[in-house]
Amino acid sequence: MKAIPPVQRYMTPAPHTVGNDQPLAKAHEIMREYGIRHLPVMHGNRLVGVVSDRDVAIITALEDVNPTLITVEDAMTSDVLTVGPDTPLDEVATLMAERKAGSVVIEQNHKVVGIFTTVDGMTALADLLHTRLR
């Protein structure tokens, strides 16, 4: 039986990030420009949250909310799932399923080195099905 690959094999390395004090409109702009749905939120060099396109959509749909005046910190999720790059893929998938999370931030030595999203998970699943179940 083959070893389960680590999450770093399928993560998106060096993800785009946004500062917690940035306007929510800035996070939305980054997401649209790069076609991404999850942004790690930083305070200096420290991970403090994640903001998703869904978070942005919910906040901006509220009446009388100006996304240029609301900060990312006001919309982010501060309870961030994090794992190391060597964490086996099955552990990451189980963690995401248990928490109903759309992403996990990959940290090494307290630095963000990647992000693993449900899209990355589907890529991993397809790859593993093609290579291991043929």
Tell me what pLDDT residue 27 has.
95
Tell me what pLDDT residue 134 has.
63
Inside any domain, residue 2: no
Inside any domain, residue 1: no
Total count of domains within the chain: 1
Question: In this predicted model, what pLDDT tens digit does every residue of 48-60 receive, in sequence order?
Answer: 999 999 999 998 8
Q: Could you tell me the pTM of the whole model? A: 0.91
| Kind and range of the H or E run holding 50 | strand 46-52
Residues across the chain:
134
Tell me what pLDDT residue 1 has.
64
Where the chain has pLDDT below 50, the residues are: none
Inside any domain, residue 99: yes
Token pair in block for residue 118: 């449900």
Tell me what pLDDT residue 68 has.
83
Inside any domain, residue 94: yes
Tell me what pLDDT residue 133 has.
66
Give the domain range for residue 94: 7-132
Inside any domain, residue 24: yes
Q: State the CATH number of the domain containing residue 118.
A: 3.10.580.10
Inside any domain, residue 80: yes
Nearest C-alpha neighbor of 112 from the set 77, 84, 75: 84
Q: Is 12 helix (H, G, I), strand (E, B) or coil?
A: strand
Inside any domain, residue 17: yes
Tell me what pLDDT residue 66 has.
85
Tell me what pLDDT residue 61 has.
86
